Amino acid sequence: MNKFKRRQFLHYSTALAAGSIIGSIPSIAFGSNFPNRKIQAYIPTRAGGGADRNFRAFSGVWSKHLGIKFEPKFYPGASGRVGYETYMDKASDDCHDLIFGNMGPEVLNWVVKKPTFDLNAYKYFIQVDADPGSIFISTKSKMKTVEDVIAEGKKRTLTVATSRLAHPASLGILVLAQKTGMKINLIPLSGGKNTRNGVLTGETDLGVLPSTTVMKRKGLNVIGLFDEKNVLKNKMPNAILVNTEYKLGLPPLPAGARAFGIKTSAIEKHPDRFKKLISSAKKVFSDEAYKKAVVKSKAPLEFISEGYEKECKAYVENITKVGQEYRSLLSG
């Protein structure tokens, strides 16, 4: 009896093993069972920040269309460098591991100091938002408009709080200062919360950040946007369009441009999987559930920006070009 059971067991287990090997062949060849495990998203900032908020809103709906859950992994530090280096070092290239970051500050970071990995070894392929950089002041400030700021900046050096030196918003104010002759001193305060506090407590004269993080804050007044239009006039009624008003000659460079990225080797090895990622992501943008998720996350619907490889590539090229032009200013 025992012998029979053992033989039966051996038969069944051999059949099962053979079946699983045969069964796995089509999936390797055609990627038909992709994704077969959770999609891991490496996020190069802290949990609870803007990237986390955008990621949860998008991936929550994307998981429905892709048929699998997303798992965020946070690697903050050194302006995103820790997250990217970890992704390039540890992530697999089977299309299950993605990076989700803010293209602007992170690409500018590479302009200032090259990372250890090859910059062509990854690419952004799904952009989810476009949040313009803003100039903001405390409501207690004597300066009320960008014009006041420029006039004051011609008399004395103004201190400008920013999240980090290599940031699209920093770039915007540096170009404005250069064009108008005002004197500014950028003070990097490590993150949006500290930057807002710097202005609120009066330690700095003004600040620059993506507009979402400041537009609804009590005690702060958004007076300028580095963009070509103000799509949230009701929330930022005092904001003028600095790029056009002062003829800065800057291409549209949203300070917040969050996007998913992937290793280029993953695209080369699994083009079918990559296509599936894009086709399922496209469904997210047209899904009402995504809009609801964005509203729930308190981000403005107007800043949703549907973009793919082409749009992401254009953004990266633009910001790299402008960043290289002003590299000496960004690196202090």
Q: Which residues bind another protein (CB under 8 A)?
A: 47-48, 76-79, 81-82, 85-86, 89, 109, 113, 157, 159, 164-165, 185, 187-190, 193-194, 196-197, 200-204, 217-219, 298, 331-332
SS3 content of the chain, % helix, strand, coil (to 5): 50, 20, 30
Min separation Cβ 208 and another protein, Å: 15
Q: How would you label 236-249 residue by residue, b for 16+ Cβ within 10 Å and e otherwise? A: beebbbbbeebebe
Min separation Cβ 196 and another protein, Å: 8
- Beta-strand pair 184-188/122-129: unpaired
**Residue nearer to another protein on the CB measure, 241 or 329:** 329
**Residue nearer to another protein on the CB measure, 34 or 74:** 74
Phi-psi region of 31 (alpha: psi -120 to 50; beta: other; left: phi over 0): left
Residue 92 has which token pair? 């697999």
Min separation Cβ 115 and another protein, Å: 11
Residue 307 has which token pair? 């973009």
Min separation Cβ 92 and another protein, Å: 18
**Residue nearer to another protein on the CB measure, 217 or 313:** 217
C-alpha angle 261-43-332 in degrees, rounded to nearest 5: 90
Min separation Cβ 47 and another protein, Å: 6
Q: CA 231 from chain center: how many Å? A: 20
C-alpha angle 174-177-179 in degrees, rounded to nearest 5: 110
**Residue nearer to another protein on the CB measure, 186 or 267:** 186
Computed on alpha carbons and rounded to an integer, the radius of gyration of the chain in Å comes to: 24
Min separation Cβ 87 and another protein, Å: 11
Spatial contact of 169 and 114, defined as CB atoms under 8 Å apart: no
